[in-house]
Amino acid sequence: MRLPCSCCGPRDSGEFVYRGDATLRRPPPDAPETHWADYVYLRDNPAGPHRELWYHQPCRSWLVITRDTRSHAILAAEAAEAVARAVQAGPEAR
């Protein structure tokens, strides 16, 4: 499998570390504890397109990659920092 690093271009999956679901949002500190438990422990785990976090070790970039978990087809790749900033800016900004 090859993953497109936003910094280095397509690279072999052996260079990456997987983190998981990129749709999870860290709750605010005062959110109910159930929100926190859901954030830490529960996953949609879809069979199909999955937005997920990967870390490219050689360049230390975190990426949000959209990948189909049935076929391993790569559908999109974005720099995680850009995604995170856009999320913070609110839905309008995206």
Partner 1 sequence: MSSVQYSIFSLLRNAVRDNRGWTPAWRKATPAPRYDVVIIGGGGHGLATAYYLARHYGMRNIAVVERGWLGNGNIGRNTTIIRSNYLLPGNLPFYEKSMMLWEGLEQDINFNAMVSQRGVLNLIHSDAQRNAYARRGNAMRLHGIDAELLDARAVREKLPFLDFDNARFPILGGLLQARGGTVRHDAVAWGYARAADRLGVDIIENCEVTGLRIEGGKISGVETTRGIIAAGKVGMACAGRSSQVAAMAGLRLPIESHVLQAFVSEGLKPFIDCVVTFGAGHFYVSQSDKGGLVFGGDIDGYNSYAQRGNLPLIEDVCEGAMALMPRIGRVRLLRQWGGIMDMSMDGSPIIDRTPVDGLYLNAGWCYGGFKATPASGLCFAHLIARDEPHPVGTAFRLDRFARGAVIDEKGMGAQPNLH
Partner 2 sequence: MNRHSASDRSPRAASGRKLSGRLPSGGLIDRGRPLQFRFDGQVGTAFPGDTLASALLANGIRLVGRSFKYHRPRGILTAGSEEPNALVELREGARREPNTRATIVEMFDGLVARSQNRFPSLAFDLMAASALAAPLLSAGFYYKTFMFPVAFWEKLYEPLIRRAAGLGRAAADADPDRYDKVSLFCDILVVGAGPAGLAAALTAARSGARVILCDEDFRPGGRLLSDRVELDDHPAMTWVDQALREFESCDKATLLLRTCVNSAYDGGVYAALQRVADHLPVPGTNQPRQRLVRITATCCVLASGAVERPVILEGNDRPGVMLAGAVRSYLNRFAVAPGREAVVFGNTDSALATADDLARAGIRVHAIIDSRHEESLQIRALGERLGIPYSAGARVTRTHGTTSLTGVTIADRAGETRRIRCDLLALSGGWSPALGLATHQNGRPVWDETLCAFIPGDLPPGMFVAGSVTGLSGTGAALASGHAVGAAAVATCGLTPATLDMPVTQDLPDRPGALWHTLEDLEAPSGAAFVDFQNDVMAKDIRGATREGYVSVEHLKRYTTLGMATDQGKTSNVNGLALLAAMTGRSIAETGTTTTRPPVQPIAIGALAGPHRGRHFRPERLTPTHDWARAHGAHFTTAGLWMRAQWFARPSDPTWQETVNREVMTVRRAVGFCDVTTLGKIDIQGPDATRFLERIYCNNFARLAVGRVRYGLMLREDGFAFDDGTTARLGETHYLMTTTTANAAKIMEHLEYCRQWLFPEDDVQMISVTDEWAQIALAGPKSREVLAAIVDPGFDVGNAALPFMATVETTVCGSIPARLFRISFSGELAYEIAVPARHGAVLADALMRAGAPFSIAPYGTEALGVLRIEKGHPAGSELNGQTTAHDLGFGKLLSRKKDYIGARMAQRPALTDPGRQTLVGLMPLAPDAVLGAGAHLLPDHAAATAANDQGWVSSSAWSPTCGSWIGLGFLADGAHRHREIVAVHDPVRGNIVRARVCPPVFVDPDGGRLHA
List 45, 88, 90, 92, residue binding partner 1 (CB under 8 A): 45
Which tokens sit at 93?
């900004």
Cβ closest to partner 1, residue 17 vs residue 86: 17
Give dist(CA 28, CA 13) in Å, integer. Answer: 33
Which residues contribute to the site for partner 2 (CB under 8 A)?
1-3, 10, 12-13, 17, 19, 26-27, 29, 31, 33, 36-37, 39-41, 53, 55, 57, 60-62, 71-74, 79-81, 84-85, 88
Closest CA to 14 of 27, 5, 26, 22: 5
In the chain, what is the straight-line distance between the N-terminal and C-terminal CA atoms, in Å? Answer: 29
Residue closer to partner 1 by CB (options 60, 72) is: 72
